[in-house]
Amino acid sequence: MASPTTAPLIGLTTYGRDSENQFPLPADYVEAVRRAGGIPLLIPPGETQLEPILARLDGLILTGGGDLDPSHYAGADHESIYMVDPERDATELALAWRLVERGLPCLCICRGAQVLNVALGGTLIEHLPDEVGDALSHRLPERRPTRHPILLEPGSRLAAILGREQIEAVSWHHQAVRRPGPGLRVVARAPDGTIEALEMPSHPWLLAVQWHPEMTAATDPVQQRLFDALVEAAQAARVRHAPDNGQRTTA
């Protein structure tokens, strides 16, 4: 039988293949999970046997990256859309459907938040500056990160985890949620009204943030709390499920 004291296994999706046929992932994500006490397991695109992986995971992170193909949300093509990767889209959309069904604790970050929303039938804004203007930057030119304030919904799970109602975070996106998918609740916005976070009240632990907590979590305890809370939820789910799940035996 699995020991409930074993650290929870946290899956992380990787980026799609780069020009050298490698599956990269910024180490910030892995390090944030390790600081939280989780064991990171990378899941590259193209995997078709997702059920055996999900059966072993205690939690999941859908990571950042390039844009979804707008055909997934009946969106329009736009000249700014970049790094579209059918292999990554297929794997992550399939993971998103399944994590909702299973009630698997999951933190969705940037592209991950968009993947979750699209998987649930929501839509995206193809290029934010076209719709909210550029008084507030969500990324700098040539696709570089910036920072801006984020206003959290009082009483939300997110505000409870972060312990405050306003934060400043790293922003690195040019798209955002347009219409939230069914079951998702908007729990944070930028000062320009852009949706910056979603949560699913009917799910045990499902949070989606448009910003990049992993980029500052090493030095900002407020951002690290997202990873700590995910690992705590994964640990709790693991203990709950352990007695009838022989696949988690480690001996």
- Binding part of the chain for Mn ion, among 51-59, 73-81, 96-104, 134-142 by CB under 5 A, reads 134-142
Whichever of 128 and 234 has its CB closer to Mn ion, that residue is 128
C-beta of 38 vs 172, nearer to Mn ion: 172
Q: Which residue has the tokens 């990160």?
A: 145
Minimum CB separation from Mn ion for residue 204, in Å? 27
Q: Quick one: three-class SS letters along the chain?
A: CCCCCCCCEEEEECCCCCCCCCCCCCHHHHHHHHHCCCEEEEECCCCCCHHHHHHHCCEEEECCCCCCCHHHHCCCCCCCCCCCCHHHHHHHHHHHHHHHHHCCCEEEECHHHHHHHHHCCCEEECCCHHHHCCCCCCCECCCECEEEEEEECCCCHHHHHHCCCEEEEEECCCCEEEECCCCCEEEEECCCCCEEEEECCCCCCEEEECCCHHHCCCCCHHHHHHHHHHHHHHHHHHHHHHHHCHHHCCC
Least Å distance, CB 145 to Mn ion, is: 10
Catalytic residue selected from 138, 173, 203, 212? 212
Q: One of 92, 196, 199, 214 is an active-site residue; which one?
A: 214
Nearest approach, Cβ of residue 194 and Mn ion (Å): 6
Tell me the site size for Mn ion, rule CB under 5 A. 2
Residue carrying structure tokens 């999900």 = 54
Our answer to whether residue 214 is catalytic in this structure is yes
Beta carbon of residue 124, minimum distance to Mn ion (angstroms, whole number): 13
Our finding on whether 212 is near Mn ion (CB under 5 A) is no
Q: Which of 111/138 has CB closer to Mn ion?
A: 138
Q: For residue 238, give both structure tokens.
A: 């693991």
Contacts to Mn ion from residues 145-184, by CB under 5 A: 171
Nearer to Mn ion, 171 or 224 (CB): 171
- Choose the binding region for Mn ion from 48-56, 68-76, 118-126, 138-146 (rule: CB under 5 A): 138-146
Q: How far is the CB of 83 from Mn ion (least distance, A)?
A: 18
- Which residues, numbered 74-133, are part of the site for Mn ion (CB under 5 A)? none
**Residue number, 29 or 211, with CB nearest to Mn ion:** 211
Q: Which two structure tokens, joined as six digits, stand for 183? A: 């079951």
Of the residues 108, 110, 138, 199, only one is catalytic, namely 110
Q: Which of 138, 157, 174, 212 binds Mn ion (CB under 5 A)?
A: 138
Structure tokens at 163: 């312990």
Asked if residue 122 lies in contact with residue 181, where contact means CB atoms within 8 angstroms, the answer is yes
Confirm whether 212 is a catalytic residue.
yes
Q: Which residues bind Mn ion (CB under 5 A)?
A: 138, 171
Catalytic residue annotation: 110, 212, 214
